[in-house]
Amino acid sequence: MSLIHPSAVIEDGAILGANVSVGPFAYIGSQVKIGDNTSVASHTVIEGKTTIGKNNRIFSHSAVGTIPQDLKFNGEDVELIIGDNNTIREFTLLNPGTKGGGSVTKIGNGNLLMGYVHLGHDVILGNHCILANGATLAGHVELGNHVVVGGLTPIHQFVHIGDYAMIGGASALSQDIPPFCLAEGNRAVLRGLNLTGIRRQVEREEINTLKAAYRALFEEGNPLKDVAQHLLETSTSAKVKMLCAFIKTSKRGIPFKRTK
């Protein structure tokens, strides 16, 4: 039995791998490439220069690869690249890159994008991230690996979020969030470490080291980048060094409450 529904429209030039299924009234454009064992549900639109890996599940009414929501876009050659084993739920909107941002939007592997998620142009999404319903990422946002973004949370353009960070639901984020940290609020500020997330991946001794680093960085009232530089030079923890290197290179600043 064919895996392509008779009412689906697949333009000449599209490349579909083995065991790709396409549901009723879906549309797949001529420049689209879809890897093995990926399913495309009914009424989904996939167009533009879009490459999708293996074992992805794309649910109904998703719009994948449609042109960027950027007034400067003028038909340039841009693309969207999606890795393997991602789940893309209903009404998700994924835009390709723009010439001014590197021309590529890239999604890694093993991510869950819940309903109505939007990834804007030139977004870079790592691996094993969870974006809850209604999370919206503006252009040029970059997320590391194992990041969780709560529902109905908008993220400002050019924001960078490090590995294992979590952003609480119904927040509004306009600055960078370092690895391993938890942020929440409108506007979102740091609330501590993302202990629930990192306990699944990090040994207790390392967590205690991260706790001490967090206190030194954000709770003792000393200049943030000076403390980060000191920890970079003195700490033996790779994760503390990752945290401090992120802070040193942040362009939008870190949102936290000064206590002194």
Quote the Cα angle for 64-67-71, to 5°: 145
CA distance 171 to 153: 5
pLDDT in tens, 69-81: 999 999 999 999 9
Task: Please name every residue paired with 9 in a beta bridge, in sequence order, or none if there are none.
Answer: 27
User: Which residues have CB under 8 Å from 42's CB, separation 6+?
Assistant: 5, 23, 24, 25, 26, 60
**Residue 55: pLDDT over 50:** yes
**Residue 1: pLDDT over 50:** no
**Comparing C-alpha atoms, which of 81, 103, 112, 85 is closest to residue 94?**
81
pLDDT in tens, 136-169: 999 999 999 999 999 999 999 999 999 999 999 9
CA distance 225 to 249: 9
pLDDT in tens, 210-231: 999 999 999 999 999 999 999 9
pLDDT in tens, 109-118: 999 999 999 9
- Residue 251's identity, in one-letter code, is K
Q: Side-chain half-sphere of 21: how many Cα atoms within 13 Å?
A: 14
- Residue 71's identity, in one-letter code, is L
pLDDT (0 to 100) of residue 230: 98
pLDDT (0 to 100) of residue 200: 87
**Residue 258: pLDDT over 90:** no
pLDDT (0 to 100) of residue 92: 98
pLDDT (0 to 100) of residue 220: 95
Q: Are 60 and 90 within 8 A, CB to CB?
A: yes
CATH topology of domain 9-140: UDP N-Acetylglucosamine Acyltransferase; domain 1 (2.160.10)
User: Hey, which residues are catalytic here?
Assistant: 121-122, 139
Percent pLDDT > 90 in the chain is: 97
pLDDT in tens, 16-33: 999 999 999 999 999 999
- Record the pTM: 0.97
Instruction: Give 260's pLDDT tier (boundaries 50, 70, 90).
Output: low
pLDDT (0 to 100) of residue 129: 98
CA distance 102 to 79: 10
Structure tokens of 247? Answer: 């802070």
pLDDT (0 to 100) of residue 27: 98
Report phi then psi at 182, rounded to 5: -115, 130
